[in-house]
Structure 1
Amino acid sequence: MDIEKHFTVSIFIVHENKVLLHRHMKYKKILPVGGHIEANELPQETCVREAKEETGLDIELYNPDKNSEMEGVMGLSAEELLIKPMHMILCKIKTDHYHIDLDYYASAETYDVNPGNGESTELYWYTKEELEQVEEAPEGVIAMAKEALDILGTK
């Protein structure tokens, strides 16, 4: 049996003390926004594109290596050092279909969302405390949403 694997991104978007999740139209679960990495697209470009399409938000990706000394050591520019994901997860979609999901954290300047045509309109901002009550989200999604708030949320 041939197994199909696609690279995808998930983006946990934080504004102030809340993280944005949505009800995925296909999977009917509460998940972060995201999607497939297209041919000739860098993962961080996918994050920016998917966030804009699905939420209308302009985002700034969190870079865990910001101010890294590797730029100088390796002779690479900031553009050549790709933003690494916070987590990488192999997600089984079907028996013969997997997503290699790159999970990123990002910040936004507003709570005002405006999803594009055909995108989920069920977008929800959650505080860390409210995440405890979300039953339709996988455990890992809740854990990463809390971690994103710990890193990017206002204290």
Structure 2
Amino acid sequence: MKTKKRKVSKTQSFNLKEYFTWKMILNFGLGFSLIIGAFIYVSPDLSAQAQNNRPVNIQSDMKGTFFYNPDCASCKKAYPAIFWHNFLHMANHKEQIQVVNVAYSGNQHFINEYAITKTPTMVVKGQHLTSDNGKQLVKFTDKGGQHG
């Protein structure tokens, strides 16, 4: 038995160009970029507000310890560099920087224990660096507590 080939008219055929125009792709790309951009912009701030609102134990196997107060303007300026450093090193615990919110009552004892005079302060191997420059704090950590 022979089957007849059915002719499909142009109106019935699938035309990829009709479904995926450059304009549609561009609009999708711009929308996606805006969403990702908003996430990148907002993530560190949300993390700074929510992180360590509980007592923490200092983990000596981490690269350094960042003491901050989420209401401190200098801490807000420095925090994104720490956030993204940890994000990029999330697979390697020893390369991460521990973040300690000293505004939380359960963590305020670290102020005296680590001689924190102001925030933000990075402590690496007993060495302190207080700065609102997050990149400088990360660099200090990468150099094992050496200034410069």
TM-score interval w.r.t. the shorter chain? under 0.3
Q: Which has the higher contact order (CA 8 A, sep 6+)?
A: 1
Normalised to the residue count of structure 1, the TM-score between the two structures is 0.23
Greater Rg over alpha carbons, structure: 2
More helix by share: 2
More strand by share: 1
Normalised to the residue count of structure 2, the TM-score between the two structures is 0.24
